Structure 1
Amino acid sequence: MSAINYDLSKIRGMAFDIDGVLSPSTIPMDINGNPQRMVNIKDGYALQLAVKRGLRIAIISGADSPALRVRYAGLGITDIYLKASVKLPVLTDWMAKEGLTPDEVAYTGDDIPDIEAMRHAGLAIAPADAAPEVKETAGYISPVAGGYGVARDLIEQVLRDRGEWMSDAKAFGW
């Protein structure tokens, strides 16, 4: 049984912020001031499996780095939107392109710029360390902090609900 109080069978698409969601909120910087983000391997495994299972995945972030594009494209994600200073228009454009309705989309965000997009999606997710205003908006608050398995938490629950978590050989490889 899912910890998320939502009909997960409706979810066909998921959108994720990067900083504070797929990477921790604290980001080391190199000598030139470039952010050096960490990634969570379990999130990566879940994201690539979600793609294989036919879920539409979007990355929507205000960040911009070639490394981010390489990381998420390497997991099979084709909808990567960087430098998205206002996220709602990007989310609605992506949903229209994919033929998704709000009740079919989960959006995971951690800070003020994510709130409008979270309100538009049927299911709003926040990491445990999200801003208080984001937690108030969320329909589900993950027990883990951003960068430490938030995507894995959501994807695993959705795929379990669909009977597609560890259901065949696709689940045991990258």
Structure 2
Amino acid sequence: MTPEFKERARAIKLAIFDVDGVLTDGKLYFLVDGSEFKTFNTLDGHGIKMLINSGVRTAIISGRKTPVVERRAQNLGIQHLYQGREDKIAVLDELLGELGLDYEQVAYLGDDLPDLPVIRRVGLGVAVANADSFVRQHAFAVTQARGGEGAAREFCESIMLAQGTLEAAQAAYL
């Protein structure tokens, strides 16, 4: 973790996640009846829960809309869910107005071009390892893990490490 990453991560009060390609592997699964399902990584989920418990607010902004994401957000305790919203900057501005936060207090984890405006605007814009190459090029940092394979956990733990809350969260399991 670079000193600049640590400095930016210390200021984070809100962590925002994209879904497809970040909390999932990016594949879309459709059943014969037209319904959709997604697979999520339990390590990512527990990382998000630990981040919430450390005092960082969380949100999901997704261009797609599916009941599965609503259920996952509820299960994890994610406080703010925005689905079917392709203009992610508009959602970000709306959310910051509601919470009284500044861009520098926000971290965002994304993978594709629709995420790029937010990645570039927030204090800590991060791309997953298998993100689009243009997105990786313009992100402040890139995870080592791929989307849906621990990238969200890595993102959460890096914020907690910078904020000094990771060790206590892990020690609770000893």
**Please, what TM-score do these two structures have when normalized by structure 1?**
0.91
Q: How many residues align?
A: 172
Note if contact 2:143-2:154 (Cα within 8 Å) is conserved in structure 1. yes
Look up the match of 2:49.
48
Quick one: distance in 2 between partners of 1:34 and 1:16?
Answer: 23
Look up the match of 1:91.
92
Note if contact 1:5-1:139 (Cα within 8 Å) is conserved in structure 2. no
Shift of 1:108: 1.0
Shift of 1:32: 2.5
Quick one: distance in 2 between partners of 1:98 and 1:149?
Answer: 28
Q: Unpaired runs of 5+ in structure 1?
A: none
Look up the match of 2:82.
81
Please identify runs of 4+ aligned residues in structure 1 that moved more than 4 A. Answer: 168-171
Q: Unpaired runs of 5+ in structure 2?
A: none
Quick one: distance in 2 between partners of 1:84 and 1:75?
Answer: 21
Amino acid at match of 1:48: K
The yes-or-no answer on 1:10 pairing with 2:5 is: no
The 10-residue stretch of structure 1 (75-84 or 2-11) with the greater mean CA deviation from structure 2: 2-11
Secondary structure of 1:172 counterpart: coil
Secondary structure of 2:107 counterpart: strand
Shift of 1:172: 3.4
Quick one: distance in 1 between partners of 2:106 and 2:142?
Answer: 16
The yes-or-no answer on 1:24 pairing with 2:34 is: no
Quick one: distance in 1 between partners of 2:114 and 2:131?
Answer: 12
Note if contact 1:49-1:171 (Cα within 8 Å) is conserved in structure 2. no
Look up the match of 1:142.
143
Quick one: distance in 2 between partners of 1:89 and 1:18?
Answer: 17
Change over 3 Å in CA distance of 1:123–1:43 after alignment to 2? same
Look up the match of 2:157.
156
The root-mean-square deviation of aligned C-alpha atoms, in Å, is 1.9
Amino acid at match of 1:53: S
Amino acid at match of 1:46: G
Shift of 1:171: 4.4
Quick one: distance in 2 between partners of 1:48 and 1:134?
Answer: 26
Look up the match of 2:104.
103
Quick one: distance in 2 between partners of 1:17 and 1:158?
Answer: 17
Amino acid at match of 1:117: V
Quick one: distance in 2 between partners of 1:133 and 1:21?
Answer: 16
Matching of residues 122-141 of structure 1 within 5 Å: 122-141=123-142
Shift of 1:68: 0.9
Shift of 1:106: 0.8
Deviations 1:51-91 (A, max 9, x none): 11110111000121112111111111120100011111001
Shift of 1:168: 5.2
Note if contact 2:62-2:84 (Cα within 8 Å) is conserved in structure 1. yes
Amino acid at match of 1:41: T
